[in-house]
Structure 1
Amino acid sequence: MFRDRLDAAKQLAQRLEHLKGHNPLILAIPRGGVPMGRHLADALEGELDVVLVRKIRAPGSPEFAIGAVSEDGSLTLDDAASHFPSDAVEREVDHQRQLLKERRARYGPVRPPIPPEGRVVVVVDDGSATGATMEAALKTLSGRPKRLIAAMGVGSPSAVARLEAAADEVACLEAPQGFMGVGQFYADFGQVEEEEVVELLSRSSG
């Protein structure tokens, strides 16, 4: 159990301390991953940016993720997506792609995208239930960084196994068999607001 996202980020920074001195690029998945990414960038003497991906929600059951879409348009759908009408899934995908465009327009003025080519890159989020969102982020970056690391506070064992095939390294602090949801492992799992994300991105490391 973590006190909050900062507590998890501090523990991740210890796990990834070997990256200090390599100027790692920390790519946070908004919004929950950004406070963690800010701490990692400061602690590891790296740079902070965001990688934009959105969950694809099941039609009629928005709390249930059936895949993810990234800013470059890459789409990852789980097998469960086939259980829903294809036109409803397509509408949800289009909706999330539009939200990604709006989010980039909001973040761009304070944090223009930092190229990941040749860098040690850490993609960070507060947790992963299915692995779909993190996997979509990793696929967007595939082949570009020198080393690609997925980092999170907690994940289901199946999500961690899924991500091991997409990253050079997976740094997951907790992967319990009794995983039910990311929020159950944080005493404080309050929503991160857009204003906080913009403020954290506007700050320089250090």
Structure 2
Amino acid sequence: MFKDRINAGGQLSSLLPAYKQDEAVVFAMPRGGVVLGFQIAQIHKWPLELVITRKIGHPENPEYAIGAVGETGRFLLNKQEKFIDQKWLENEIKKEQIEAIRRRKVYYGDRKEEQVKDKTAILVDDGVATGLSLSLAIEELKAKKPKEIIVVVPVISEDIADSIGEICDKLIAIKTVKGYFGSVGNYYENFPQMSDEEVVKLLSIIWTRK
């Protein structure tokens, strides 16, 4: 079990290759993944950016992800969920895409994103349960044409680890869980919700770093 996201980010930092400052870019998945991404970016002196995706929760159990959507409207769905009302699904995809766009504006303002073309993209989140948001984030990153994509997470389901490993260049995970996974928060002693303000504060520290 991890003490908190700061602790998890520090542990992940020690497992990463020593790329030069201009060779790698950290991409965190907000909100929770930003704390880990911040730790990694600070320790290794790498740039920090975001990949913003939004979970689409089941209509009867919103905590259970049946899909994910990004800012561009690209989305992934759990193919096993065959009986979801299509009109409801279309509305949810649009709603969550709008929220992803809103977050980009709040977090970035007018700032331009660091280019990752021909560099190593290091994608980080605070844990992976279903893998839908992470899989979509990988697809979003591939469109930016990095040299390679390394996914780093503290904890991931064993089944999901296999599928994620097939679509990225390397997966680094501290803990791989067999059988029932539950929620990501179960693997932390302290797992508070993060606010937009906290995300902006961490990003500003990296972005104004000299």
Report the TM-score, using the length of structure 2 for normalisation: 0.92
Partner of 1:149: 150
Aligned to 1:99: 99
Runs of 4+ deviating beyond 2 Å: 17-23
Q: What is the Cα-based RMSD across aligned positions, in Å?
A: 1.6
What is residue 199 of structure 1 aligned with on the other side? 201
Percent identity, aligned pairs only, is: 33
CA distance in 2: counterparts of 1:41 and 1:91, whole angstroms: 36
1:182 aligns with 2:184: yes
CA contact (8 A) 1:58 1:81 kept: no
Write out per-residue CA displacement over residues 148-202 of structure 1, whole angstroms, 9 at most, x where no aligned residue. 0111111111111111111100111111114222111100011111100001111
TM-aligned CA deviation for residue 111 of structure 1: 4.5
**Alignment: residue pair count:** 206
Match of 2:167, SS state, is: coil
> Conserved in 1, the CA contact under 8 Å of 2:28 and 2:37?
yes
TM-score, structure 1 length as denominator? 0.94
Residue 44 of structure 1, CA deviation: 1.5
Unpaired segments of 5 or more residues in structure 1?
none
Which residue of structure 1 lines up, in the alignment, with residue 11 of structure 2? 11
Which runs of no fewer than 5 residues in structure 2 stay unpaired? none
Q: In the alignment, residue 125 of structure 2 is paired with which amino acid?
A: D
Q: Report if aligned partners of 1:49, 1:111 keep a CA contact under 8 Å in 2.
A: no
- After superposition, the Cα gap between the structure-2 partners of 1:80 and 1:58, relative to the gap in structure 1 and judged at 3 Å, is farther
Q: Give distance in 1, aligned partners of 2:40 and 2:110.
A: 19
The 2-side partners of 1:31 and 1:51 are apart by 10
CA offset at residue 81 of structure 1? 3.0
**1:165 counterpart letter in structure 2:** E
